[in-house]
Structure 1
Amino acid sequence: MLRLDKLVKTYKTGDQALKAVELDIPNGQVLALIGPSGAGKSTLIRCINRLVEPTSGEVWLGDTELTRLSPSRLRRERRRMGMIFQEYALVERLTVMENVLSGRLGYVGFWQSLTRRFPQKDVDEAFRLLDRVGLLHMADKRADELSGGQRQRVGICRALIQDPAVLLVDEPTASLDPKTSRQIMRLICELCAERGLAAIINIHDVALAQMFVQRVIGLRLGAVVYDGPPDGLTPDKLTEIYGEEDWEATIDKVDDEDEEAEAIA
């Protein structure tokens, strides 16, 4: 379980990005963070793995309080937190296989990491993951030869090969077309279900979040203003999160997608 207890982030400018956020996220639950730009979504994700240092509060991953760890302990605990980035964060000149195996760098010694010599079990797992996401045939291709959706799948494999306890996902569909966005969201949710992983997904597309996740957290000005199921996002709730807007089109889009999925099934 991942638990946030009164998490606060205040920048030197005095801007408060997070205001006493409290969340409990059980194993296997996929949660979407929604809210306007500047609401604190990316800050929250980065405070969990301390890429951004919280000002106060606690972050617990299982029985470990992450906010009090020394740098060496934090490096070890970060292996349990897989990160998936909006801009993929791949090394363009490396192959797909090499990018996936980079997720194991925290587990191997210095010389092994320098020469990229990984245990055979890691290589086998990388092949298995690439097969699972439909990229086995591209293992030897350079990352700069891939499409956006393919790059994101490599990023997913790189995160999963860490054998994490939680996935932190920062706008995974922002650079993708609608069809590929649905495929990536579906894949993340399926993989979390298969592995019993908790996941927090920062996402701007409300309709996409409603189609796939089990729980939605709405942030506004660093505070949680909604915590509940996707179908609880009424026009009034969406207005509370984002401000005035005609939300009926978004709700109709979700209903249409649900009907389309039922028809395909």
Structure 2
Amino acid sequence: MLKLDKVSKTYKTGDKALHHACFEVPAGQVVGLIGPSGAGKSTLIRCINRLVEPSSGSIQLGDTELTGLNRRELRRARRRIGMIFQEYALVERLTVMENVLSGRLGYLPAWRSYFRKFTGDDIAQAFSLLDKVGLADYADKRADALSGGQRQRVGIARALEQNPELLLVDEPTASLDPKTSRQIMRLIRSACQERNLPAIINIHDVLLAQQFSDRIIGLRAGEIVFDGPPDALTDDVLTTIYGDEDWTQLRGENGSGDQGEDASGVDLMESA
């Protein structure tokens, strides 16, 4: 379980990016983090793995208090946290397989890490993950030869290669077309269900958040202004999060977006 207690972040400029964030995420739960640009969504995610240092508050993953760790302890703790980035963060000149295997680097002794001497189990798991994300035939391709959707699939496989206890996802569909965006969200959700893995997904698309999340947290100006089930995102709640707007176009004729497909019952193997 992940637990945040009064987590705040104030930058040196005096800007308050996050104010007293408090919530828990149990095993297996997928949380959609929504809010306008500048609301503090990316800051919140990056405070959890301390890519951004919180100014105050407590962040606990299982029995480990993350905010109190020194540099060496933090490196070990980050092995337990998988991160999927908006811009993929792949090494372009390396192959797909090499990028996926990089998820194991934190577990290797320094000399093995330097020479990229992975175990047979690491390699077998990487092949299995590439098969699950639909890239079994791309293991030897360079990352710079892939489409955006394929790169994001590599990023998912790399994060899962860590065997994490928590998944943090920062705008995974921002650069993708609608069809590919849905496929990527299916992959993430299905992986979490298979592994009983908690996840926090920073996402701008409210309909995708509603369809593929178990729970929605809404941020505005660094504060949590909504925390509840996806079907509780009424027009009034959306106005609280984003400000005044006509939300009928967002919802469409069906009132809550495309709910004709059960996101929890899809196969990881759907191709991009």
TM-score (norm 2): 0.94
Instruction: Find the counterpart in structure 2 of residue 91 from structure 1.
Output: 91
Shift in alpha-carbon separation, 1:125–1:82, aligned structure 2, 3 A: same
1:250 maps onto 2:250 in alignment: yes
Q: Could you say which structure has the higher helix fraction?
A: 1
Letter in 2 for 1:258: Q
Q: What is the distance in 1 between the residues matched to 2:111 and 2:153?
A: 28
Q: Paired residue for 2:114?
A: 114
Once the two structures are superposed, the pairs formed by residues 71-90 of structure 1 within 5 Å of their partners are 71-90=71-90
What are structure 2's unaligned runs of at least 5 residues? 267-272
Q: CA deviation at 1:261?
A: 6.1
Q: 1:173: which partner in 2?
A: 173
Counterparts of 1:254 and 1:72 in 2: how far apart (Å)?
Answer: 50
**Contact map agreement 1:207 1:254 (CA 8 A) in 2:** no
AA at the equivalent of 2:45: I
Q: What amino acid maps onto 2:258 in structure 1?
A: E
Query: What is the deviation of 1:211?
Result: 1.1
Match for residue 124 of structure 2?
A: 124
TM-score (norm 1): 0.97
Structure 2 match to 1:156: 156
Which letter does structure 1 place at the counterpart of 2:53?
Answer: E
Contact 2:86 2:172 in 1 (8 A): yes
Separation of aligned partners in 1, 2:131 and 2:103: 17
TM superposition shift of 1:244: 0.8
1:212-227 alignment runs, 5 A limit: 212-227=212-227
> How many equivalent pairs are there?
264
Q: 1:107 and 1:42, CA in 2 relative to 1: closer, same or farther beyond 3 A?
A: same
Given residue 204 of structure 1, which amino acid in structure 2 is its aligned partner? Answer: H
TM-aligned CA deviation for residue 107 of structure 1? 0.5
- Which residue in the other structure is 2:234 paired with? 234
- Check conservation: 1:16, 1:222, Cα contact below 8 A: yes
C-alpha distance 123-205 of structure 1, shift in aligned 2 (>3 A): same
In structure 1, the partner of 2:16 is 16
Shift of 1:255: 3.8
Cα RMSD, aligned residues only:
1.5
Q: Deviations over 1:73-110 (max 9, x none)?
A: 00000000000000000000000000000010000111
Q: Which residue of 2 aligns with 1:185?
A: 185
1:259, CA displacement in angstroms? 3.0
| Residues 218-252 of structure 1: CA deviation (Å, up to 9, x unaligned) | 00000000000111111111011000111111122
Structure 1: unaligned runs, 5 residues or longer: none
Cα offsets for 1:95-135 (capped at 9, x unmatched): 00000000100001112111111001000000000011110
Whether the 8 Å CA contact 1:80–1:165 is kept in 2: the answer is yes
2:40 maps to 40
SS at match of 2:32: strand
Alignment-derived partner of residue 206 in structure 1: 206
Q: Which residue of 1 aligns with 2:260?
A: 259
SS of residue in 2 equivalent to 1:189 = helix
Aligned residue identity for 2:161:
I
Residues 86 and 171 in structure 2, CA contact (< 8 A), matched pair in contact too: yes
Whole-angstrom CA distance in 2 between matches of 1:236 and 1:257: 20
For 1:243 and 1:80, locate their aligned partners in 2 and report how far apart those are by CA, in whole Å: 37
Q: Is the 8 A contact 1:211 1:254 kept in 2?
A: no
1:69 — aligned with what? 69
CA distance in 1, matches of 2:119, 2:257: 47
- Report the secondary structure of 1:169's partner residue: strand
Instruction: Find the counterpart in structure 2 of residue 102 from structure 1.
Output: 102
Partners of 1:228 and 1:30 lie apart in 2 by 12
Seen in structure 2, the aligned counterparts of structure 1 residues 82 and 191 have a Cα distance that, compared at 3 Å, is same
Output the CA distance in 2 between the equivalents of 1:260 and 1:251: 16
